[in-house]
Amino acid sequence: MSNSMWGGRFSEGPAAIMEEINASIDFDRKLYRQDIEGSKAHAAMLAAQGIIGADDAEKIREGLDTILREIEDGSFKFSRALEDIHLNIESRLKELIGDAAGRLHTARSRNDQVATDFRLYVRDVIDGVDAALHELQVVLADKAFAHAGQVMPGFTHLQSAQPVTFGHHLLAYVEMIARDRGRFQDARKRLNENPLGAAALAGTSFPIDRFATSAALGFDRPTANSLDSVSDRDFAIETLSAASLCAIHLSRFAEEIVIWSSAQFRFVRLSDKFTTGSSIMPQKRNPDAAELVRAKTGRIIGAETALKIVMKGLPLAYQKDMQEDKEQAFDAFESLELVIAATTGMVRDLEPEAANLKKAAGSGFSTATDLADWLVRVAGLPFRDAHHVTGRIVAIAAERGVELNRMPLADMQAVHGAITDAVYSVLTVDKSVKSRTSYGGTSPKNVRAQAKRWQRALAREAARRS
């Protein structure tokens, strides 16, 4: 049996395998709200332009409202034979209001319809992600302020480097997330153009008002080229790119949580809410939430790569390949929203193990740079000479198994005679972090100021939204 939505061109129905590969309703039903929103705006514009009658437009509006309620209460019957969300809604609309339903598709195509729906969906995703990232920043900034003076080891190459503070470390992620939010906001600005009215690829001969539908749907303006309008998926790729980089940042933090919560580090405690046990080892508290944040990043990056590969060889304008733009994108965006929520929860409940952090901060000769700086500042050595002297002292300390702040003065003076007992004032981890007062440095005073700055900025943003 032919698909009645196709009119008279086809006399036979599709093969079973064709239906299987062609149908997208199993996943694009997620666009139902955006599809109905776009159809209502289109019908209202058609009536305002005198292209369809006001009575028909009202019937269409009422019918679409009924369909929205049916989908949301679960009574709507989706059909794979009708392929996609657009034809499923249009078919049900015809059942509800009769021939007036056929007027809705005047001056549009499924090509511009799906482009509009997908833009609306991605825009909604960006708004939701931005709100979630704002909350994560608030939690990180609050935690950073509370632990601005908590000393911990700073690492390079995952080797002990210099002491930093726990608050300073958390603020690094606040900065990363700020850049993530900026990328999402930039993507939103570029996607916020309306393809509705581009029709199949060439525009339409009907006297439509694309500025009216743009205003109704919250777009800044209509798209300017009908070919580009229906064939563009840059907005999805760009948003997936922002999602990928955001997920990478969250994955890096998740990796640190996994390491920090291990028995070998014991830097932080995770609550029972975000850990699991073992079926055989009763002592285990596994950081599964962090591990899954780390793992789901692969799905998000994969979705970006997959869509780029779909688009890379497509001539203008619309191609059926572009049906593959949504399923993995939906999964990626849902995964991102999940990992943001999980990370926010972990940070909110996470508590640093102060004694272990401080002990670790002093290991690995982490104040060696402070010794070199002291030799420059007090003894007047060029930094390269100070670096060499400090390296010799570190080698002796390593051989004897003592930290720098416990090295006998005589042994240090044997390496360089200008060293006095005043050097011990810079060799503790507390003194080290307090000395890092350069802008952006880890001194507790700096960290409190930066955390407070973020708290105020995020609070002002929340007030503007409310």
* 169 in catalytic set: no
Catalytic residue among 11, 75, 157, 205: 157
Cβ atoms of residues 310 and 321 within 8 Å: yes
* 229 in catalytic set: no
Catalytic residue among 2, 4, 262, 278: 278
Q: Which residues are catalytic?
A: 157, 278
